[in-house]
Structure 1
Amino acid sequence: MTRKTKVALFDLDHTLLPIDSDYSWGVFTQAIGWTDPVEFKRRNDEFYAHYKAGTLDVDAYVRFATDAIRLKGREASLAARERFMREVIAPVVRPQALELVRGHQRAGDRVAIVTATNEFVTEPIARVFGVEELIAVRLVLGPDGWITGEIDGEPSLRAGKVTRVGEWLAAQGLGWDEVETTFYSDSPNDLPLLERCDHPVATNADDTLRRLALQRGWRILDLFASHP
C-alpha cells in the first residue's frame, strides 16, 4: 500500500492567533485615521457578527475591508501593514502556536494556512509562522497592479475552503485519497473542511464547535488559556 502524504492545515484567526486578524486590521485602520471612527466600527462589528453567525456576504465584506488600502495605495498600505504587524500581530503570536506548526514541519508534513481573511492581511502573518503555503482570499489587482476590492476566484470561506484546498493539492499532483489530512480550526464556519479531513481538531473552539466535537469524538485542543 502506498503511504499517504501527511498534510497539516491550519485556520488562522482564533486558531493560531488569539485574535481575528481581519477584524483587528479594520480596528487598526480606524485607529490611524483611515476610516470614519463611528461608521466604520458599526459596519465592521456588523460584518463580524455575520461571520460568527455563518451569514457573511463575503464579497460585500471584502470590498468594505479593502476600501481603505485601495484608496491609500500601495506605498502607504504596505507601510501601515508593517506597523500593524509590529504593534498588533507580533505581541499576540504565542510560542505554543508556533510550536504546533513547527512540530508538523519537523515531522515532514506539508503545512498550509487556510483562512477566510484576505491575502494582503495574512501574507506577512504566514511568514511569521514559517508557513510558505497560504490559502487565503485572493484579491483582484487592477491595471495599476493594486487591489480593486474584488475577490479573485473562489473565496476560502466555509465550503470554499474545501474547494481551494482541493485545488492546492491538485497543483501538487495530489488528490484527497492520496493524503492524510489534519485540520485545526476554532469555528463552525469551517465544518465543511473539518468534515472532509481525516483528523479534525477543534482548536480554541467556540461553544458550538466544542459541543459538536464532543458529540463526534473529535480531538479538542486549547492552545490559549482564553481567547476572544
Structure 2
Amino acid sequence: MSLAIFDLDNTLIADDSDFLWGQFLVDRGIVEKDLYEQANNKFYEEYKQGKLDIVEFLNFSLAPLAAHDASQLYQWREEFVETMIKPITLNAAHELVEKHRAAGDTLMVITATNRFVTEPIVKLYGIEHLLATTPELKDGQYTGKFIDTPCFQDGKVKQLQDWLADSMHTLAGSYFYSDSHNDLPLLKLVDNPIAVDPDDTLRATAQKSDWPIISLR
C-alpha cells in the first residue's frame, strides 16, 4: 500500500479554486469589485510565475472570512462548489483516484489553497486526507489569520513530513501528481513524481528528469 498524493488546482480540477473563490466573492458583490479583482489577478499571476509571497497572499485571501459570520460563509461556499467547482471536476481525475483506491493506496490531497475552500472539493473525490493551509478559527469565527506552516512550495514538504511523523505511512512507493513548478520540492521527494497538464517550467523539468507527463483534461 503506497501513498498517492494529488495536487488539487489544475490537477484534479480544471482551474484554480483559490482564484475562483476570489472571483466568486467579486461576482456576488461580497467584496469591492475593482480593487479585489485586480489584487486577485495579480496574486494569481505571481503564483504562476513562482514569485508569490504566500503570507501577503494569505493576508489578502483570508480577510473576507473574518468579515462575515461563519454560517453565511458556509452558505456561500456551498453555492460556490455547486456553481463553479462541480462543472470543472474531471472524469479522468475521478478514474485516476479510483484506480489508486482499488490498489489499496492511501489517498491524499495536498494544496496551497486554504482548507475552508478546499475541504468540500476534496470530498467530491472521496479522498480522506487533506493537507492545506489552515485558516484560524476562534469561537466559531474565522480571524483572517492562518495557523501552522502555509502549505506552499517547501511548506508542502514540511506539512507532509509532519503528517508522516504522526502516521504509520512512509514515502516508499509514493506518488505525487501536480501541474505546477511550485510543487517541485515535493515532486523531487516522492518515488513516483507525475506531471499533470504541466506548466512550461514543470514540463521542462519532467522531460529532463524522465518523469511521466499525463493529461486529465
TM class, shorter-length: over 0.9
* 3-state DSSP of counterpart to 1:196: coil
My pick for the range that moved more, 166-175 or 181-190, is 166-175
Task: Summarize the Cα distance change of 1:16–1:59 in structure 2 as closer, same or farther, 3 Å threshold.
Answer: same
For the aligned residues, what is the CA RMSD? 1.1
- Cα separation, 1, equivalents of 2:121 and 2:208: 33
- Cα separation, 2, equivalents of 1:25 and 1:42: 14
Gaps of 5+ in 1: none
Q: 1:184 aligns with which of 177, 185, 199?
A: 177
- Cα separation, 2, equivalents of 1:211 and 1:54: 15
- Cα separation, 2, equivalents of 1:41 and 1:195: 34
Q: Is 1:21 the counterpart of 2:11 in the alignment?
A: no
Displacement, 1:166?
A: 1.1
- Cα separation, 1, equivalents of 2:184 and 2:108: 17
- Cα separation, 2, equivalents of 1:51 and 1:25: 15
Tell me which amino acid in the other structure corresponds to 2:16. D
- Cα separation, 1, equivalents of 2:162 and 2:69: 31
Displacement, 1:211?
A: 1.2
Equivalent residues in 2 for 1:1-228 (5 A)?
5-142=1-138, 144-176=139-171, 179-224=172-217
- Cα separation, 2, equivalents of 1:114 and 1:71: 27
Tell me which amino acid in the other structure corresponds to 2:113. T
- Cα separation, 2, equivalents of 1:69 and 1:172: 31
Displacement, 1:175?
A: 4.1
**Equivalent residues of 1:59, 1:150 under 8 A apart:** no
Gaps of 5+ in 2: none
- Cα separation, 1, equivalents of 2:100 and 2:106: 8
The number of residue pairs the alignment matches comes to 217
- Cα separation, 2, equivalents of 1:49 and 1:171: 35
Tell me which amino acid in the other structure corresponds to 2:180. S
- Cα separation, 1, equivalents of 2:26 and 2:62: 13
* 3-state DSSP of counterpart to 2:113: strand
* 3-state DSSP of counterpart to 1:18: coil
Tell me which amino acid in the other structure corresponds to 2:169. L
Tell me which amino acid in the other structure corresponds to 1:129. Y
State, as a whole percentage, how many aligned pairs show the same letter: 39
- Cα separation, 2, equivalents of 1:141 and 1:68: 13
* 3-state DSSP of counterpart to 1:180: coil
- Cα separation, 2, equivalents of 1:132 and 1:165: 15
1:56-86 Cα shifts (integer Å, max 9, x gaps): 1212211211222221110110000000011
TM-score, scaled to structure 2: 0.97
- Cα separation, 2, equivalents of 1:120 and 1:51: 19
Tell me which amino acid in the other structure corresponds to 2:211. W
Displacement, 1:207?
A: 1.2
My pick for the range that moved more, 190-199 or 150-159, is 150-159
TM-score, scaled to structure 1: 0.92
Displacement, 1:25?
A: 0.3
My pick for the range that moved more, 52-61 or 159-168, is 52-61
